[in-house]
Chain A
Amino acid sequence: MPRGTPRLSRRLIIGLGLLQATLVLALIVTEPLRENNRPLNLLSWLAAEQAGQILAPAIGRNAAGNLALQTTPELRDYLASRPDFWFVVTDGDRLLRGGAVQDRNKDVVDDDGVVVPSRMSGQASPMLLVTPAGRVGAMLGNAQSGLLEGLSFWLADRLWHGLVGLLLLAAGNALVIVLGVRFLLRPVRAAADAARALQPAQRGLVLPEDGVPAEILPLVSATNAALARLEHAHAQQRRFMANAAHELRTPIAILALRLDAVPDDALRERLQQDVRRLTLLANQLLDLQRLQQADPAWERLDLVALSREVLAEMAPLAVDGGHELVFASALPRLEVRADDQALRSVFSNLIGNALTHGGPASQVTVRINPDRSLEVADRGPGIPPEVRDKIFEPFQRGMRDGPGAGLGLAIVRQVLQAHGAGIRLMETGAGACFRIEFPEAQPL
């Protein structure tokens, strides 16, 4: 997948995460507003919250199990800076008091075990604290704080707790989204696999629509409709090509026969060469059309005998041009599933190219290797590196200006592809060498 392609699951995770973070933040920020048993005095609420948070860790128990103050540095600092601050803590049984001195004889404990100090000096805030000694009720008096200090203390505390919750939520989100998206998009993946396997020569191209989510279904359906239109156009074009190639043969046949009347031997020979090219091209177009049919009539052929025959047929042409032909096979037989005429055309095309472009008095070799590959090599100037990648493209003539150029190698490659075989140009350092690799012979 290319970088920068948006991922559905990532977007969902980020979107949902942002939404949840906003909600949590809103809950935190509106906390003072939602506290029902407190006066809406933000500053005193903040101060009490701060005092509670500092006090809670210092409330422990002694060996007898009674509440005991285990002073922390934070509490010590807090008490030192606020001489009026006092607190009373109770677990229901015992009282623990600290801070500014109070007259304990006048305390009252109400039914819930909450201590109501006798002389409330200044403001007092009741609250529940979670301490090392367990949950305790507390009354905090004269807790004071600056707005900034109180706010930052409170936010730091809440955000820390909020953050942990958020992270847990985010992990949960990610898991559900990743698995969910993967599950929901499974049909889409199946459609993509089907699309990847599509071959241009295939008939009835269609992507599976079963189970594709409704949001994505229009894309798959539209693709299927487009495929159907393409296939129709492709079939039409193929019919046209077949007809054109077929129609070409009669004029070519007439031309070939009329050439016979040309009195100038050299001119006639040249024109006959041209007609051979034309014939080869028309034949290959027909071959291709035939091989791209739904069910070509394959034969089981011996590549050794077939390629040797084609090479032998080219011998008069080679000897005329002062060239040498060499045939070498590492195998006594090589069975391939092929179309006889189409394969012969391919070889005569390649050998013809080699004879034309192999330079004067060259040597053209057809070699069959043990790995089911066949090579056609010449000793000419070779193919310039800048056109090497393009010689199999239609109408890419490059150095191969002459018989078999233009459409020649493009058709050669297509005909071979129809056979399941590949062709490539080898780096040899001397001359051009085309290598064809045949697959194992499949059943007919």
Chain B
Amino acid sequence: MRILLVEDEVELAGALRAALDRRGILADWVGSLAEAREALSGPLAATGLRAILLDRRLPDGDGLSLLPALRQLPEAPPVIMLTARGQTAERVEGLDAGADDYLVKPFAVEELLARLRVVTRRRLDPGAEPMALGRLQFDPVHREAHVEGSVLALPRRELALLELLLRRAGRVVLREAMESFIFGFDDAPTSNTLDSHVSRLRRRLAEAEAGIAIHALRGLGYMARAE
């Protein structure tokens, strides 16, 4: 994956590029609006940029001023703004101006990667990429779960639950979200039907040795992680 980093802080840019490089992401770096414009109008645009990381405070102006020109490109890459904390107005302005997401400095590399994954996937067919956790593979297109090559057969609702948990693997999925996702309007879910679905799913995953743990968080929801 190749991205463009627009950031005037040299050391920050260097550290960020090194961190991305370790993840196989090539970040081209420019330090000003002028350089960014030049890069976008030049050969770089043709190489298929997957995303732009854009600092707001640049020596020659506001990073946002880049956005209108960017929208003119045939395949405009998604933009993640790098903002300062507490500048709520800045954040809102950025999203209004057409940025796809924002990240508050300082941030962890993992957080940046997660945002990058989300914005780049959004541009493709959302939800179509296969997901993997533990020893389990999930194919959203065919809605099939595999463990080490063999199909794991699951009832409809448990499959839906699994998909939801996998999409937010490592993070909590709130009960309300799960209930509205797996129950239609005609069902009247009682609070323990969700729990019984989850415990059945848990048992099946354990039987198949899928290597997935579903953690319950009382009053919050559930979280799936690799064991």
A interface residues (Cβ-Cβ under 8 A, vs B): 246, 249-250, 252-258, 260-261, 272, 275-276, 279, 282-283, 286-287, 290, 297, 299, 308, 311-313, 315-316, 318-319, 324-329, 339-341
Q: From residue B206, how far is it (CB to closest CB) to chain A in Å?
A: 17
Contacts A249-B85, A250-B9, A297-B88: A327 and B19 contacting too (C-beta < 8 A)? no
Q: Point out the residues of chain A lying under 8 angstroms from B172, CB to CB.
A: 312-313, 315
B86 at the interface (CB under 8 A from A): yes
Contacts known (A254-B15, A257-B15, A316-B171); A327 close to B106, Cβ less than 8 A:
no
Residues from chain B with Cβ under 8 Å of A250 in the complex = 9, 11-12, 105-106
Given contacts A249-B106, A254-B12, A272-B108, contact A261 B221 (CB under 8 A): no
> What are the residues of chain A within 8 A of B86 when measuring CB–CB?
286-287, 290, 339, 341
Nearest CB in chain B to that of A366: its residue: B219
Tell me which residues across on chain A come within 8 A of B22, comparing CB atoms.
260-261
Nearest-CB distance from A40 to chain B (Å)? 96
In the complex, what distance in Å separates the CA atom of A297 from the CA atom of B86?
Answer: 10
User: CB-defined interface of B28-45 with A at 8 Å, one 1/0 digit per residue?
Assistant: 000000000000000000
Shortest CB distance A318–B (Å): 8
Residue B16 at the chain A interface, CB threshold 8 Å:
yes
> Are the C-beta atoms of B217 and A257 separated by less than 8 Å?
no
In Å, the complex CA distance between A61 and B207 comes to 131
Q: List 23 A-B contacts (CB under 8 A).
A: A250-B11, A252-B106, A253-B12, A253-B105, A254-B11, A254-B12, A254-B15, A256-B106, A256-B107, A256-B108, A258-B19, A261-B18, A275-B106, A275-B108, A279-B106, A312-B171, A312-B217, A312-B220, A313-B172, A315-B171, A315-B223, A319-B223, A329-B219
Q: Closest residue of chain A to B10, judged by CB?
A: A254
Say which residue of A261, A283, A315 sits within 8 Å of B217 (CB atoms).
Answer: A315
CA distance A251 to B88 in the complex (A): 22
| CB-based A-B contact count at 8 angstroms | 103
Q: Cβ of B153 < 8 Å from any Cβ of A? A: no
Please, which residue of chain B has its CB at the minimum distance from the CB of A297? B88
Beta-carbon contact of A312 and B221 below 8 Å:
yes
Give B134 Cβ to nearest chain A Cβ, in Å.
Answer: 15
| Chain B residues positioned under 8 Å from A249 (CB to CB) | 84-85, 105-106
Interface contact A316-B107, CB-CB below 8 Å? no
Which B residues between 96 and 123 are near A, CB-CB below 8 angstroms? 105-109
Determine if A327 and B16 form an interchain contact, defined as CB atoms under 8 angstroms apart.
no
- A257 contacts B19, C-beta separation under 8 Å: yes
Please indicate the chain A residues that have their CB under 8 angstroms from the CB of B215 in the complex. 315, 319
- Complex contacts, A327 vs chain B, CB 8 Å: 217-220
B225 at the interface (CB under 8 A from A): yes
By CB atoms of chain B within 10 A, which of A249, A260, A319 has the most?
A260
Interface residues on B, range: 20 to 34
B170 at the binding interface (Cβ < 8 Å): yes
- Which residues on B are within 8 Å of A, measured CB to CB? 9, 11-12, 15-16, 18-19, 22, 84-86, 88-89, 105-109, 170-172, 174, 215, 217-221, 223, 225
Contacts A286-B86, A315-B172; A258 near B15 (Cβ below 8 A):
yes
A sample of 15 more A-B contacts (CB under 8 A), given A253-B105, A312-B171, A312-B174, is A249-B105, A250-B106, A254-B9, A254-B11, A260-B109, A261-B22, A287-B86, A297-B88, A316-B170, A316-B225, A319-B223, A324-B217, A325-B218, A327-B220, A339-B86
* Known contacts A283-B85, A312-B217: A258-B174 contact under CB 8 Å: no
Task: State the CA gap A341–B86 with chains docked (Å).
Answer: 7
Residue of A nearest to B106 (CB): A253
Nearest CB in chain A: distance from B25 CB, A:
12
Closest A residue to B18 by CB, please name it: A261
Residue pair A261, B220 in contact (C-beta under 8 Å): no
Residues of B within 8 A of A276 (CB): 108
Contacts of B170 in A (CB 8 A): 316
Known contacts A253-B105, A297-B89, A326-B218; A316/B223 CB under 8 A:
yes
Per the bound structure, the CA–CA distance linking A329 and B219 in Å amounts to 8
> In the assembly, what is the distance between CA of A276 and CA of B105, in Å?
12
Residues of B contacting A299 with CB < 8 Å?
88
Q: Which of B12, B174, B221, B223 contacts A257 (CB 8 A)?
A: B12
Q: How many whole Å from B19's CB to the nearest CB in chain A?
A: 4
Min distance, Cβ A94 to any Cβ of chain B, angstroms? 108
* Residue from B89, B172, B215, B221 having most chain A Cβ neighbours under 10 A: B172
How close is A347's CB to chain B, nearest CB, in angstroms? 13
Q: In whole angstroms, what is the CA distance A290 to B108 when docked?
A: 24
Residues of A with C-beta under 8 A to B171: 312-313, 315-316
Report the bound CA distance from A75 to B98 in whole Å. 118
- Pair B220/A286 contact, Cβ less than 8 Å: no
Give complex CA distance A27, B218 in Å: 92
Once bound together, how far apart are the Cα atoms of A21 and B11, in whole Å?
87
Contacts of A328 in B (CB 8 A): 218-219
